[in-house]
A = this chain, B = another copy of it.
Amino acid sequence: MKEELKIFHRIFTTTYDAIEKFMNMLNPVIQNATDDHERLYYHHIFEEEEQRLSRLVELIPLISKFEKEKSDADFAPTNNEFNRLLQELNLEKFGLHNFVEHLDLALFRFTDEDRSTMLNQLREVSYQDYQQVKAMLNEINSRFDTNYVDPHAHHDEHHDHLERSGAAAPARVTVKHKKGFTVGSLR
């Protein structure tokens, strides 16, 4: 678990910096938006990343604490703090997933070289990190038998729509929802 915590720490520290870069890019876009729809759209994405940032401010020290202070005996579902850590990591897996999509959406609009180069760099790292977090959490959740069911698993089974063939091209997205899918099935 110590090795995994080290990787989680690296990934969420990296994404923290990536959020800052993305928000700093969005700031003038929001200031100079030409209409209310555009302004709300980018401000909305800005705020969702701001929310993620404020959660990471809590999560990163929690990971450090487990890295430094805790022994293997603490990595157990009977430990409330460990459960909280796992729950937060599961949440931030979605945070990373949504961030990749925010970057993909931005890549459709900011096609100038400076911004598209930066967005593509952030996108590549975030996508790799998302995949690694997902794999590690699947493994940890099965190891600790937490009965955690990934509500996104059906996406990954049917179509990993975040997959991209080339780094420089805008995202090619194929979204196929199962026929007759209703969210009521989640109840």
The 8 Å CB contact of A101, one of B44, B105, B171, is B44
What are 14 contact pairs spanning A and B, CB under 8 A?
Answer: A23-B183, A24-B183, A30-B177, A36-B171, A37-B105, A40-B108, A40-B175, A43-B161, A44-B101, A44-B105, A48-B48, A50-B151, A53-B151, A80-B80
Asked if A104 is at the interface of the complex by the 8 Å CB criterion, the answer is: yes
CB distance from A82 to the nearest CB of B (A): 12
The chain B residue with its CB closest to the CB of A44 is B101
Q: Which of A54, A173, A182, A183 has the most CB of B within 10 A?
A: A183
Is A137 located at the chain interface by the 8 A CB criterion? no
Query: How does the 8 Å CB contact mask read for A136-173 relative to B, with 1 for contact and 0 for none?
Result: 00000000000000011001000001000000001111
Q: Count of A residues near B, CB < 8 Å?
A: 48
Q: Tell me if A110 is interfacial: C-beta within 8 Å of chain B.
A: no
List A residues at the B interface (Cβ < 8 Å). Answer: 19-20, 23-24, 27, 30-31, 36-37, 39-41, 43-44, 47-48, 50-51, 53-54, 57, 80, 84, 91, 94, 97-98, 101-102, 104-105, 108, 151-152, 155, 161, 170-173, 175, 177, 181-184, 186-187
Please report the C-alpha to C-alpha distance between residue A141 and residue B33 in the assembled complex, in whole angstroms.
36
